[in-house]
Chains A and B, each alone.
Chain A
Amino acid sequence: MSNLEIRPAPVRRSVVVKAGVERSFAAFTGNIGRWWPKSHTIGSSPPVNVVMEGRAGGRWYEVSADGGECEWGKVLLWEPPTRLILGWQVNGNWKYDPAFVTEVEIVFTALEGGGTRVDLEHRNLERFGDRAGPVRDAIGSDGGWLGILRSFAANAEASEG
């Protein structure tokens, strides 16, 4: 029984925007630095921009004030203006890990009246718990999960305070 399967449900989120699919896709991918919440980044300092390279195989990453880049992953599928799959390659230690890939699929669907529904699914979350996954290996260490939980709590309190 050493092969415990951990299969958490994918994260699914949707939003309806007033723009058409082409404009929505362009804004989502091309102007990501304008709307990405500053509360959710992985670098050591707050980012000044978030960039997505608009092609399969392109990178997406945050840029810190000193010009340093903190990679999040690769663009896995690029089908403007309706579909996009991003690799979220930030592991359980909040570090970019090229060997770690979870998929974020974003689908843009035209609605009657000109709006667009944006459906997002972040899947393969079980990979956070796989193999020598840091989530499971470092569970008791300050640099591991407990450290992450502490920073969750600190961040949450800071954003509430």
Chain B
Amino acid sequence: MSRRSSSAATALAALADPTRRELFERLRAGPRAVGELARGVTVSRPAVSQHLAVLKAAGLVRDTAAGTRRVYEIDPKGLGAIRAWLDDMWGGALQSFSAELDKEIEDGDKTNNSN
């Protein structure tokens, strides 16, 4: 469970900041260069870069170099929290399924009993 916890906690912390949330909101419309993202927000450009670094570390956005510019976009794998939740859910479900089947086999044939 710790992986889900840390993934959720990291993403939550990253989006808890209003500036970061605004930057993330802007990226929902499509990839943007740092300069574009910095326009219209109240913090300095270096601060924007720092916020983007936090979003990146949380797995929510990724960046690529385009010439001299750095372009940010929402990380395609960064539906992170939902994907992590589903991954955790199915992992747990299959383990639980396997354990139940093992128990049934050990206990004898009980597969037709109802709950």
Contacts and interface: CB of A to CB of B under 8 A. Distances in A.
Interface stretch (A54-62, A77-85, A121-129): A121-129
Nearest to B4: A156
A4 B9 contact: no
A26 B111 contact: yes
B94 interface: yes
Interface string B77-115: 111011101111111111111111110110000010001
A35 B86 CA distance: 17
In terms of DSSP, what is the predominant structure of the interface of chain B? helix
B111 A11 contact: no
B15 interface: yes
Given A4-B74, A11-B87, A135 B82 contact: yes
A15 to B, nearest CB: 4
Nearest to B30: A1
Contacts of A37: 89, 92-93, 96
Interface residues of A, number: 56
Contact of B97 (A4, A15, A148): A15
A153 B11 CA distance: 10
Given A7-B76, A140-B21, A18 B105 contact: yes
List the 3 closest pairs (A to B, CB-CB), nearest first.
A1-B30, A156-B5, A152-B8
Interface of A: 1-9, 11, 13-19, 23-24, 26-28, 30-31, 33-37, 39-40, 49, 92, 104, 118, 120, 122, 125-126, 128-129, 135-136, 139-140, 145-146, 148-150, 152-153, 156-157, 159-160
27 contacts: A1-B31, A8-B76, A8-B77, A11-B87, A16-B98, A17-B97, A18-B105, A19-B101, A19-B105, A23-B101, A24-B101, A27-B97, A27-B104, A28-B97, A33-B115, A35-B97, A35-B99, A40-B88, A122-B90, A126-B79, A136-B28, A145-B15, A146-B12, A146-B15, A148-B81, A148-B82, A156-B1
